[in-house]
Amino acid sequence: MSHVFARNSRRSPPRAVGGEGCYLIDESGKRYLDGSGGAAVSCLGHGDAEVIAAVQDQLSTLAFAHTGFFTSEPAEALADLLVSKAPEGIDKVYLVSGGSEAMEAALKLARQYWVEKGEPQRGRVIARRQSYHGNTLGALSTGGNAWRRRQFAPLLLDVSHIDPCYEYRHRADGESAEAYGARAAQKLEDELLRVGPETVMAFVAEPVVGATSGAVPPAPGYFRRIREICDRYGILLILDEVMCGMGRTGTLFACEQEGIAPDICAVAKGLGAGYQPIGAMLCSAEIHQAIADGSGFFQHGHTYMGHPTAAACGLAVLRAILGRDLLPRVVRQGETLDAALRDRFGQHPHVGDIRGRGLFRGLEIVADRDDKVPFDPSRGTAARIKTAAFEAGLICYPMSGTIDGRQGDHVLLAPPFIISDEQIDELVEKLAQAVEAAVT
Ligand code: PMP
pLDDT at position 147 is 83
Q: Cα(437)–Cα(439) distance, rounded to whole angstroms?
A: 6
Assign 10 to helix, strand or coil: coil
Cβ of 102 closer than 6 Å to ligand 1, yes or no, is no
> Final residue of a domain: which of 297, 323, 349?
323
Segments of 54-123 assigned E as strands: 90-96
The predicted pLDDT at position 440 comes to 87
In which band, very low, low, confident or very high, does the pLDDT at 353 lie, cut at 50, 70 and 90? Answer: very high
pLDDT at 173 over 90: yes
CA distance 440 to 438: 6
CATH of the domain at 283: 3.40.640.10
Q: Is 133 in the pocket of ligand 1 (CB under 6 A)?
A: yes
DSSP state of 46: B
Q: Which domain holds residue 175?
A: 52-323
Report yes or no on 3 lying in a domain.
no
User: Are residues 315 and 332 located together in one domain of the fold?
Assistant: no
Give residue 368 CA to ligand 1 midpoint distance, Å. 31
Angle at 98 between CA 97 and CA 103, to 5 degrees: 115
With respect to residue 346, please indicate whether it lies within any of the assigned structural domains.
yes
| pLDDT tier at 158, thresholds 50, 70, 90 | confident
Total of domains in the chain: 2
Over residues 234-260, mean pLDDT: 98
- In this prediction, residues 415-439 reach a mean pLDDT of 97
**CA–CA–CA angle 296, 300, 302 (5° rounding):** 130
Beta strands in 27-139 (DSSP E): 31-34, 90-96, 124-128
Read off the CATH number of the domain in which 402 is found.
3.90.1150.10
The answer on pLDDT for 4 being more than 80 is yes
**Residue 120 banded pLDDT, cuts 50, 70, 90:** very high
* Average pLDDT score over residue span 229-238: 98
Element (H, E) at 82: helix 73-85
**What ipTM describes this predicted complex?**
0.99
Cβ(105) – ligand 1 distance below 6 Å: no
Give the mean pLDDT of the chain. 96
> In a mutational test of the pocket of ligand 1, which residue from 7, 133, 145 has the highest number of ligand atoms less than 8 Å from its CB?
133
Of 323, 351, 380, which residue sits at a domain end?
Answer: 323
50-64, 172-186, 402-416: segment of lowest average pLDDT = 402-416
Q: Are residues 31 and 58 in the same domain?
A: no
Burial of residue 77, with CB atoms counted within 10 A of its CB: 0-12 exposed, 13-18 middle, 19 or more buried = middle
pLDDT tens digit sequence for 364-419: 999 999 999 999 999 999 999 999 999 999 999 999 887 777 789 999 999 999 99
Q: Residue 272 has what pLDDT?
A: 98
211 lines ligand 1 (CB under 6 A): yes
Q: Is the pLDDT of residue 12 over 90?
A: no
Percentage of the chain lying above the pLDDT 90 cut:
93
Last residue within a domain, chosen from 293, 323, 353: 323
- Based on the fold, state whether residues 276 and 245 are members of the same structural domain: yes
Q: Rg of the Cα trace of the chain?
A: 21
- My answer on whether 312 and 422 are in the same domain is no
pLDDT of residue 91: 98
Residues 24, 103: one domain?
no
Same domain, 254 and 332: no
Residue 281 has pLDDT above 90, yes or no: yes
Convert the pLDDT of each residue in 312-340 to its tens digit.
999 999 999 999 999 999 999 999 999 99
CB 166 within 8 A of CB 213: yes
Q: Which of 145, 242, 265, 267 to mutate to test the pocket of ligand 1 (most atoms within 8 A of CB)?
A: 242
Rounded to an integer, the average pLDDT of 418-432 is 98
The answer on 277 and 131 residing in a single domain is: yes
Domain presence at residue 59: yes
Ordered strands of the 23-26 beta sheet: 16-20, 23-26, 31-34, 394-395
